[in-house]
């Protein structure tokens, strides 16, 4: 599908792994389908390791406070991600260009992912614009989601074929990980209060290798291990829990990490979707919000997942909703809900296809 439009995606980096990850996947997905994309980002440094080879059809632009509009050709679709706030002069220039060309410009507000019921009610609704912009632009809310009444989830066209070709042993060997058949667990998290509890439980499960992602996760694990070794040096008797620290991973290699593990711990929006496509049991940590809004978001997601009681309890403790010890990990009990959700979601329209169809209908 090719709408023949130039898309301008605006991204303000709050979490290098999250907001920018979603925007890059969206940009690549549009370009993969023949669209031209400019990704405006205020701090694109993380793309050096997240997507070191770039992508054909995607131009990364530095989003500075003052854009030099005179030399910038205007496109046909604006995408404002996560309420980042596009510069008013840029919006006005797009509206003027559309009026002069005799076409209708489109402005999409791409919102955060949630399984809460308001998403279905708000997806696709128009957003008011000042009178001077209405003649050239129409603005709509676009919500990702977990059913056909929403915008869907980001999913590459070659995802399943890549997954089918994946060689776990080769990937681990290339990263100098001495895999000998032990259980593999990936960890991508913030600083959960239950981290010590998790490490003790993994050590008690038998031979387990924890693959720790770079950044905040590694810092949290190193602090936890230092504390536990100081308080009780024998907690990991026999070193049944092995810890491997990973470098920063490209987006494809983050997928590979999830595919090779028996259990995945993920955080934020982008890695949640990747864990669903991986199809392995996983635990999600939401970004904690002062008003506790993340708690309702968690419960709605667990309902969508049709999570069993034990997996719900584990999520609540991991997200510091319940102050208790972590329930026992039970991969056999957790797997069916993940497999079922993945099957349901794979037959639904992906987000890029939905956005293209929405643009064709409403531009």
The secondary structure of residue 126, as a DSSP letter, is B
Question: Quick one: DSSP state of residue 146?
Answer: S
Which of these is catalytic: 35, 255, 269, 350?
269
Task: Point out the catalytic residue in the list 19, 156, 255, 270.
Answer: 19
Judge whether 269 counts as a catalytic residue: yes
Q: Please choose, from the candidates 217, 268, 226, 276, the residue with its C-alpha nearest in 3D space to the C-alpha of residue 245.
A: 217
Pinpoint the alpha helices (H) of the chain.
19-32, 47-50, 88-101, 118-122, 131-134, 159-165, 168-174, 195-204, 216-231, 251-260, 270-278, 293-305, 309-318, 331-346, 351-362
The CA-to-CA distance between both ends of the chain, in Å, stands at 15
Q: Is 117 exposed, middle or buried (0-12, 13-18, 19+ CB in 10 A)?
A: exposed
DSSP collapsed to 3 states, 6-63: EEEEEECCCCCCCHHHHHHHHHHHHHHCCCEEEEEECCCCCHHHHCCCCCCCEEEEEC
Instruction: Say whether 19 is catalytic.
Output: yes
Q: What is the DSSP letter of 116?
A: S
Torsion of CA 184, 209, 188, 300, to 10 degrees: 50
Tell me the three state secondary structure of residue 153. coil
| Rounded Cα gap, residues 348 and 354, in angstroms | 10
CA atoms of 303 and 166, how far apart (whole Å): 31
| Residues that are catalytic | 19, 269
């Amino acid at each position: 599908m090719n709408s023949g439009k130039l898309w301008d995606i605006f991204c303000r980096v709050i979490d290098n792994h999250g907001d920018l990850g979603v925007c890059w996947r969206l940009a690549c997905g549009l370009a993969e389908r023949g669209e031209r994309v400019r990704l405006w980002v205020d701090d694109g440094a993380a793309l050096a390791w997240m997507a070191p080879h770039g992508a054909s059809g995607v131009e990364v632009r530095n989003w500075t406070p003052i854009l030099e509009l005179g030399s910038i050709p205007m496109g046909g679709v604006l995408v404002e991600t996560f309420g980042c706030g596009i510069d008013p002069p840029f919006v006005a220039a797009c509206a003027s260009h559309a009026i002069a060309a005799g076409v209708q410009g489109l402005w999409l507000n791409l919102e955060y992912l949630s399984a809460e019921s308001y998403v279905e009610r708000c997806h696709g609704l128009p957003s008011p614009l000042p009178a001077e912009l209405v003649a050239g632009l129409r603005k709509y809310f676009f919500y990702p989601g977990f059913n056909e009444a929403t915008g869907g989830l980001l999913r590459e066209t070659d995802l399943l074929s890549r997954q089918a070709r994946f060689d776990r042993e080769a990937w681990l060997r290339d990263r100098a990980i001495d895999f000998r058949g032990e259980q593999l667990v990936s960890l991508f998290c913030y600083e959960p209060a239950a981290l010590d509890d998790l490490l003790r439980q993994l050590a008690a499960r038998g031979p387990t290798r924890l693959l720790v992602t770079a950044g905040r996760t590694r810092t949290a694990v190193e602090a936890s291990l230092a504390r536990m070794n100081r308080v009780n040096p024998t907690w990991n008797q026999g070193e049944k829990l092995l810890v491997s620290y990973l470098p920063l991973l490209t987006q494809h290699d983050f997928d590979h990490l999830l595919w090779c593990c028996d259990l995945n711990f993920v955080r934020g929006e982008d890695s949640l979707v990747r864990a669903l496509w991986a199809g392995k049991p996983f635990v999600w940590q939401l970004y904690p919000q002062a008003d506790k809004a993340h708690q309702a978001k968690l419960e709605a997601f667990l309902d969508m997942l049709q999570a069993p009681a034990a997996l719900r309890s584990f999520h609540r403790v991991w997200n510091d909703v319940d102050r208790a010890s972590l329930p026992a990990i039970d991969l056999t009990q957790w797997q069916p809900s993940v497999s079922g959700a993945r099957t349901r979601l794979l037959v639904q329209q992906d987000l890029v296809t939905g956005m293209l169809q929405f643009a064709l209908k409403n531009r």
